[in-house]
Structure 1
Amino acid sequence: MEQHTVSFTVPKDDFSSALAWVARSLPSKPTQPILRGVMIEADDDGLHLSGFDREVSTRVHINAEVDEPGSILVAGKLVSDIVGSLPNKPITMRYEDSTVTLSTGSSRFELRPMTIEDYPVLPKLPENTGTIDPHLFSQAISQVAVAAGRDDTLPMLTGVHVEIDGSNVVLAATDRFRLAVRQFSWNPSDSSSKATLLVPARTLADAARSLDPHNNQDIAISVGSGENIGKEGLLGIEMNERHMTTRLLDAEFPKFRPLLPQNHTALASVEIDPLQDAIRRVSLVADRNAQIQMEFSEGSVTLSAGGSEVGKATEQLQCAFTGEPLTIAFNPGYLKDGLAAIGSQRVVFGFTMPSRPAILIPEPAELPEADAEGNFPTPSTEFIYLLMPVRLPG
């Protein structure tokens, strides 16, 4: 087969950022070695970099001076590490005589290319379904993805459940020990759109983390339109010059709404930062992920942990509390995750019994009054983190 020379020069920062974004989605132990590759296509428009492991695809465009157009397939993480380590000078990449040369200043690397003919074709984006503000997307995904399971033998728990009903979207995720639910509005292409999807949580979380915090351009979400929403089994995300797709999970998410308590025997409002600090301190004497006990009463909450050979710690914080005093215990890691996801200065806990799940929500403008039986309805909220308690000792 006739070989073509490929040559281009590209700004280091742009190249490094694009390579890092594509490489982060590549598998470290792929089923086929070719899937470790990043495809670099050089043409009159600049460079198109892409990666695909048959589950997740990524594609990004950057500007470059292309002397000789063509395509190069190289080991993605290796090239990303090399470019990331180079000084901030323009980088020239050249493919000739079965060798890829990377050079800038006095640095020069010679790499073996991968065989382009064996590389899989990237999937096309489905039809656009709607757009969402990037900061809202990032916040909502980070709030729910933390509660998703990581056990691949239970695929229905490794995804984020997505319900689309016109302009309303509900996200939910659970690993059986906690459940996170977030509601928000977006801009649907069709106001009558309805769909239920299960998207890999890890991929969504990576997409949210990789957003440019200075970007204010809406993100386009593509899962099809009309009756074809979700039918391709693919979700596409477009952000600036970056496109990605992921396979949807073919599994049934548990029915989660019956798990959310409607009423509570007690409510507590606590400032989050001092509470997080106190959890970290008292956890120092606890065994790994051993429970943190929280004793709520009027005006205060007392945290305690330990009691083994290492020792015991207690700390008391101010707390606005209404209802029957109670003592409840949580896994400290799950508790800290929930507090970090709240996104407000104070958290409101809703309790029923020490043996039943509690809810954590951002503090509303006004807490509800108790009904005739002394129960408090769940305050109106866009985000709920439901946390299973740990059995109290004794």
Structure 2
Amino acid sequence: MNFSVSSSAFLKQLQVASGALSSNPVMAILEDFLLELKGKLLTITTSNLEVTIQTSLEVQGKGNGKIAISGKTLLETLKSLPEQPVSFEINDETRGVEITSSSGKYKLVGENPADFPELTKPDTEDSIEIEAKSLLAAIDRTIFATSNDEMRQAMKGVCMNIDFNHITFVATDAHKLVKSAFLDVTSETAASLILTKKTLLTLKGIVRADSKVKIYFNKTKAYFEFDNVMVTARLIEGKFPDYNAVIPINNPNKLRINRQELLSSIRRLSIFANKSTNQIVFDIQENSLTINAQDLDMNNEATEQLICNYDGEILDISLNAKYLIEILSVMVSEEIVFEIHSTNKPVIIVPAEQEPNEDLLLLVVTNY
């Protein structure tokens, strides 16, 4: 099989697919791009067994066939070439590959494409369509809150709950929880999936914010289709915790404050907090928030006072500075609201003004 293609156009699609190339793989062929030519359509596939990326582009082709080529070699060769047509001649019997550019010829030997993992396609009509910017926002908001506990496999991923015309992404490590819902989606079904962190990081690296993403799913896999790309992802088995059960309701105490001012204050105070607990104490009174940090082992202590709007009873609440910094850093709203039930219940944090068609809730536990 032979084909010619623009070096920059080919490189662009290879870089998209490279998101699933493996380093130190269990199978050597997972370091390769699988190239398949059918007429004028060249399909590029990579896989790390957890995530598979498939993309394609039109080329000037002759013959049909497949070949697996070293990802590192192909990427580095094309990166070093200026924009120009490049030609590939592939001997299907010997798997010899000859690349021709205006500068010269480059020869290498490919691998047997039959050794590449078997590819699957969506076998279901169950799907949902979401704006890419919403998916990317959900990834940014949730991925930091996933657990690293090997004993809680379900919590190592992000739960994606589909309920007809809205979709909710949830992550928790039992210390903090993020629930990010979007109401501007299109679906005729309901389901609950658990996506791996690797899947979400892969999507974050290749999805364009101005596109739309169609998600197909079954019991074991999810398929993300956008532009000319298909990402196939293995789902985490198991049941995600009932997160709604830990979210307090009827929270009468509400504190509204500038997010960036609070974040800066907590970052300073965390320097003086005990390094094993990261504990800081909120002393909340009428329109006044005093935050205290103390490390008795090092004789360190710090206090700051911030202006806020507060409606509720006087409260002293112990919180984890590290978790608060993580939560406040993924929010973008100018002002936020703490919704507090009592000193022994988790604290809810929400944007003072929700984005249109969105509902964002972040929760942090108060007890140690």
TM-score band, normalised by shorter chain: 0.7 to 0.9
Distance in 1 between the 2:182 and 2:160 partners? 11
Aligned to 1:358: 347
Cα distance in 2, alignment partners of residues 183 and 148 from structure 1: 17
Match of 1:296 among 272, 284, 296: 284
- Cα distance in 2, alignment partners of residues 178 and 257 from structure 1: 13
Query: What displacement does 1:155 show?
Result: 1.3
1:61-80 alignment, distance < 5 Å: 61-66=56-61, 70-77=65-72, 79-80=74-75
Task: Name the structure 1 match of 2:234.
Answer: 247
Q: What is the deviation of 1:136?
A: 1.8
Residue 203 (1) aligns with residue 190 (2): no
**What residue in structure 1 maps to residue 245 of structure 2?**
258
Letter in 2 for 1:64: V
Q: Secondary structure at the match of 2:308?
A: strand
Q: Cα 1:88–1:336, aligned 2, differ >3 Å: closer, same or farther?
A: farther
Structure 2 equivalent of residue 42 of structure 1: 37
Residue number in structure 2 paired with 1:25: 20
Following TM superposition, by how much is the alpha carbon of 1:348 offset from its aligned partner in structure 2, in angstroms?
0.8
Q: 1:118 to 1:362 in 2, by over 3 A?
A: same
Which residues of structure 2 form unaligned runs of 5+?
none
CA-based RMSD? 3.1
Whole-Å Cα distance in 2 between the matches of residues 315 and 81 of structure 1? 53
For the residue of structure 2 that corresponds to 1:176, the secondary structure is: coil
Query: How far apart, in 1, do the equivalents of 2:309 and 2:73 lie?
Result: 54
How far does the alpha carbon of each residue in 1:109-132 deviate from its partner, in whole angstroms, 9 at most, with x for none?
654422212112211123341211
State the distance in 1 between where 2:263 and 2:102 align: 48
State the match for 1:122 in structure 2. 119
1:16 is matched with 11
Secondary structure (helix, strand or coil) at the match of 1:235 reads: strand
SS at match of 1:212: coil
Give a deviation string over 1:309-365, Cα, whole Å, max 9, x none. 384444333221221233334333322232233342211111233443111111148
Of stretches 114-123 and 337-346 in structure 1, the one that deviates more from structure 2 is: 337-346
1:243 shift after superposition: 0.6
CA separation of 1:306 and 1:81: change in aligned 2, threshold 3 A: farther
- How many percent identity over aligned positions? 24
Q: Secondary structure at the residue paired with 2:167?
A: strand
Contact 2:215 2:224 in 1 (8 A): yes
- What is the deviation of 1:157? 0.7
Aligned pairs for 1:93-242 (under 5 A) are 93-95=88-90, 98-101=95-98, 106=103, 110-128=107-125, 129-190=127-188, 193-213=189-209, 215-216=210-211, 218-223=212-217, 230-231=218-219, 233-242=220-229
* Cα gap change, 1:62 to 1:152, in 2 (>3 Å): farther
TM-score (norm 1): 0.80
Distance 2:116 2:281 in 1: 54
User: Is contact 1:8-1:68 (8 Å) kept?
Assistant: no
CA contact (8 A) 1:93 1:100 kept: yes
> Which of residues 342, 362, 368 is equivalent to 1:385?
362
| Ranges in structure 1 where 5+ consecutive residues have no aligned partner | 224-229, 366-379
| Cα distance in structure 2, aligned partners of 1:107 and 1:330 | 64
- Residue 146 of structure 1 deviates from its aligned partner by 2.7
